[in-house]
């Protein structure tokens, strides 16, 4: 792609997930724009822009690195704002794993709806368009007054299951009622059976009692969820499935946040595999967890960027994995 022409794709990368940005850039056949960011000694974030974005179609890719969510968010906001003041034609925030997605409702008195706050902040900073993936609740799209494309990892997950599992043997299991729709969709596409685990959650990050609804005996149970954070739910669900005589239990989650003791929890659980996508940087977790497999979704993100830039429809990506190779 020639440089110097106005209105090209400019891909800027936040610092949270440079590998994913590089993969997306490779797919698009472009170079990542020259920016750098660091923290001042007083811990304020500083972003340096090293090339012109004037009149360009700017895409800023920033994921949420576990632990540094707020730093990553501020960096993204500063980058968006910088591009706005530098006269970019359009700024699209590409946020594979939307931060604060779980704080999406006022579930108790005076609880913040932080997901909406983030949406407002992104727009205030100057984002004209949002591309994200597997929002915890798709209603979050309604928090935006600008277009928000919610991509799905489902096509990539389906492909992985078809390539790696014997579909006739599988039961798709949703670890909670909230994920039932996501899991049934996969079960329908695979023509596999479906089961559901009902759970009570007394406090955040704590898991209560669980009940299995459906049959998993002598089957390969595939737990499907949008994110795996502390993995407490997954481990308990896996134990429950084993108690119900599932032959093998694997878990597939789009966002592998895996914070806290997640890796130990997974290693000590009766899960045989944990499959996540690379929306979130995994760091050294792959080495620490031999059960973990990674699905690359950079193709979907890159194709969404390409199609958005060219003004083409992205709905093809909701059901298909783009063929880059």
Partner 1 sequence: MVKNIVVLGGNSHPELVERICASLGLSPCNRILTKFSGGETRCEVQDSVRGKDVYIIQTGAGKVNDVLMDLLIMISALKTGSARRVTAVLPLFPYSRQPDVPYKKAGAPMSRVGPDSSVPPTPGPGIARSAGLDNGTDMSGLMSKASLGEGVNGSPVKKSAPNGINGSLSRPGTSGPGSPLTRTFTTHNYENPGLVSTFQAKPGYKQWVAQAGTLVADLLTCAGADHIITLDLHDSQYQGFFDVPVDNLYAKGLLQRYITLNIPNYKDAVIVSPDAGGAKRASAIADALGLSFSLIHKERRPTKITDRQSASMILVGDVSDRVCILIDDLIDTGNTIVRAAKLLKKEGATQVYALVTHGVLSGDAPDRIRNSCIDKLVTTNSVPQDENRAQLGQKLDVLDISQVIAEAIRRSHHGESLSALFAYN
User: Which x/- pattern, by CB under 8 A, does the window 220-239 give for partner 1?
Assistant: ---------xx---------
Binding flag, residue 81, partner 1 (CB under 8 A): yes
Q: Which of 26, 150, 242, 259 binds partner 1 (CB under 8 A)?
A: 259
For residue 21, give Cα distances in angstroms to 116, 129, 177: 26, 18, 33
Binding flag, residue 58, partner 1 (CB under 8 A): no
Q: Which region among 112-120, 134-142, 174-182, 238-246 touches partner 1 (by CB under 8 A)?
A: 112-120
Q: Which is nearer to partner 1, 3 or 313 (CB)?
A: 3
Diameter over CA atoms, the chain: 62
Shortest Å, Cβ 197 to partner 1:
21
Q: Which of 48, 138, 164, 268 binds partner 1 (CB under 8 A)?
A: 48
Binding flag, residue 202, partner 1 (CB under 8 A): no
DSSP 258-290: --TTHHHHHHHSS-SEEEEEBTS--TTHHHH-T
Shortest Å, Cβ 107 to partner 1:
10
Q: Are 93 and 122 in contact (CB under 8 A)?
A: yes
Binding flag, residue 125, partner 1 (CB under 8 A): yes
Q: Which region among 32-40, 134-142, 208-216, 236-244 touches partner 1 (by CB under 8 A)?
A: 32-40
- Both tokens of 184, joined, read 């049934």
For residue 109, give Cα distances in angstroms to 117, 120, 206: 17, 21, 20
Q: Which of 1, 2, 108, 145 binds partner 1 (CB under 8 A)?
A: 108
Shortest Å, Cβ 75 to partner 1:
8
What would you report as the CA-atom Rg of the chain, rounded to the nearest whole angstrom?
A: 20
Phi, psi for 220 (deg, rounded to 5): -90, 115
Q: Is 301 left (phi over 0), alpha (psi -120 to 50) or beta?
A: alpha
Q: Which is nearer to partner 1, 74 or 314 (CB)?
A: 74
Distance, CA of 278 to CA of 160 (rounded, Å): 14
Q: Count CB neighbours of 73 within 10 A.
A: 21
Q: Which of 260, 286, 309, 314 binds partner 1 (CB under 8 A)?
A: 260
Task: Please classify residue 127 by burial: count the beta carbons closer than 10 Å to its beta carbon, then call 0-12 exposed, 13-18 middle and 19+ buried.
Answer: buried
**Helix or strand or coil: residue 34?**
coil
Q: Which region among 74-82, 88-96, 287-295, 300-308 touches partner 1 (by CB under 8 A)?
A: 74-82
The footprint of partner 1 on residues 137-196 (CB under 8 A) is none
Q: Are 237 and 210 in contact (CB under 8 A)?
A: yes
E-strand ranges in 166-209 read 170-174, 193-199
Q: Which is nearer to partner 1, 30 or 158 (CB)?
A: 30
Q: Which region among 47-55, 141-149, 209-217, 238-246 touches partner 1 (by CB under 8 A)?
A: 47-55
Distance, CA of 19 to CA of 294 (rounded, Å): 13
Distance, CA of 61 to CA of 14 (rounded, Å): 6
Size of the site for partner 1 (CB under 8 A): 70
Residues near partner 1 (CB under 8 A): 12-16, 18, 21, 31-32, 34-52, 64-71, 73-75, 77-79, 81-82, 85, 99-100, 102-103, 106, 108-114, 116-117, 120-121, 124-125, 204-205, 229-230, 257, 259-260
């Amino acid at each position: 792609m020639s440089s110097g022409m106005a209105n090209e794709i400019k891909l800027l990368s936040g610092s949270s997930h440079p590998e994913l940005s590089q993969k997306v850039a490779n797919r698009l056949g472009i170079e990542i724009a020259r920016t750098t960011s660091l923290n001042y000694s007083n811990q304020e974030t500083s972003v340096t822009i090293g090339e012109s974005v004037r009149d360009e179609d700017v895409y800023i890719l920033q994921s949420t690195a576990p632990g540094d969510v707020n730093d990553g968010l501020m960096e993204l906001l500063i980058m968006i704002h910088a591009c706005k003041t530098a006269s970019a034609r359009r700024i699209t925030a590409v946020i594979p794993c939307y931060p604060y997605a779980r704080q999406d409702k006022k579930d108790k008195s005076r609880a913040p709806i932080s997901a909406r706050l983030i949406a407002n902040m992104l727009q205030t900073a100057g984002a004209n368009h949002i591309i994200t993936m597997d929002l915890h609740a798709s209603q979050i799209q309604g928090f935006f007054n600008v277009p928000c494309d919610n991509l799905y990892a489902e096509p990539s997950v389906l492909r992985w299951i078809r390539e790696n599992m014997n579909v006739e043997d599988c039961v798709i299991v949703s670890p909670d009622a909230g994920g039932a729709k996501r899991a049934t969709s996969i079960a329908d596409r695979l023509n596999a059976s479906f089961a559901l685990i009902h759970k009570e959650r007394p406090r955040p990050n704590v898991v209560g009692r669980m009940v299995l609804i459906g049959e998993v005996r002598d089957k390969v149970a595939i737990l499907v969820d949008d994110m795996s954070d502390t993995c407490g739910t997954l481990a308990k669900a896996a134990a429950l499935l084993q108690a119900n005589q599932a032959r093998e239990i694997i878990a597939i989650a789009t966002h592998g946040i895996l914070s806290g003791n997640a890796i130990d929890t997974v290693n000590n659980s009766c899960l045989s595999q944990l499959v996540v996508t690379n929306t979130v940087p995994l760091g050294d977790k792959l080495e620490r967890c031999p059960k973990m497999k990674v699905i690359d979704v950079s193709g979907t993100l890159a194709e969404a960027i390409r199609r958005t830039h060219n003004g083409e429809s992205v709905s093809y990506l909701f059901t298909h994995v783009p063929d880059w190779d």
